[in-house]
Amino acid sequence: MQFYQSIAEYYDHIFPSDEAQVDFVKTSIPRPHSGKGILDIGCGTGSLAVALARDGFRVTGIDLDAAMVERAIDKGRGLPSLSFRQLDMRSLSGRFSPFSFDGILCFGNTFVHLKEREDVLGVCRRAKELLRSGGMFLLQILNYDHILAKRLPGLPTIENDRVSFERIYRYADDGSIVFRTVLTVKATDLVVENEVPLYPLRKGEVEDLLSEAGFSQLRIYGDFRRGPLMPESLPLVVEASV
């Protein structure tokens, strides 16, 4: 995807490794003894997958963007329990056998890059098929109930000594959100502008889709520390069990 290919070189400066995500996974999916491990959907440059592999998990990371996967492979060299491949999350069927994983992750607001409800439902169904009995599907998007209710103009700018990353929303007539970003690399004054449509999944729709896909127990939080989802929470984090 051009949107991410153009920022892959700077991705780790924009979104550094998040220990809260690592801890959330470790407490949701105790280190598996089945040998089946974890599938990380939308793995980006592989920071989370690498951290989990170093902690004893067997991890397979997939991402649609080839530049992201190349960086993930470089980052994970020397870890035999870790692998990465370029793959569309809509194409999980036939790539992995049923009951292949103890846990499946999809963080970083990845899910809302799907274009319509049937795509989301299809990925949820494939995820359930790939999980062993008792397996966990862990999902994180943004709280679009809050974003849509307030018509937020965007998300807070990410700024540090290396980059500035502006995140701007435009609300389209078809119900999608056009997500526009402006990345400025401070050392070179390079500016990279992108935009991509997002499918803003509301909490109720997420619950309905996961239930329709066959997940029996859902727990929803407002952050990776399992705080409650509040009306103005920005993250929406889900644990769904088979």
Please check whether residue 101 is in contact with residue 36, taking contact to mean a CB–CB distance below 8 angstroms.
Answer: yes
**Pairwise CA distance, residues 230 & 225, whole Å:** 14
Angle between helix 47-54 and helix 66-75 axes, rounded to 10 deg: 30
Residue range 2-143+200-241 forms a domain whose CATH class is: alpha beta
The b-or-e profile of 59-92 (16+ CB within 10 A means b, else e) is bbbbbbbebbbbbbbebbeebeebbbeebebeeb
Largest CA distance in the chain: 51
Q: List, by residue range, all CATH 2.30.30 domains of the chain.
A: 145-198
**Pairwise CA distance, residues 179 & 198, whole Å:** 7
Indicate the average pLDDT of the chain.
95
At 4-16, the pLDDT tens digits run 888 999 999 999 9
Task: Check pLDDT > 60 for residue 73.
Answer: yes
At residue 34 the predicted structure's pLDDT band, cuts being 50, 70 and 90, is low
At 75-90, the pLDDT tens digits run 999 999 999 999 999 9
At residue 220 the predicted structure's pLDDT band, cuts being 50, 70 and 90, is very high
Phi, psi values for residue 198, rounded to 5°: -120, 145
Q: List, by residue range, all CATH 3.40.50.150 domains of the chain.
A: 2-143+200-241
User: So what's the pLDDT on residue 33?
Assistant: 60
Task: Check pLDDT > 60 for residue 1.
Answer: no
At residue 2 the predicted structure's pLDDT band, cuts being 50, 70 and 90, is low
- β-strands 101-106, 131-142: how paired? parallel
At 119-177, the pLDDT tens digits run 999 999 999 999 999 999 999 999 999 999 999 999 999 999 999 999 999 999 999 99
Q: Which CATH fold topology does 145-198 show?
A: SH3 type barrels. (2.30.30)
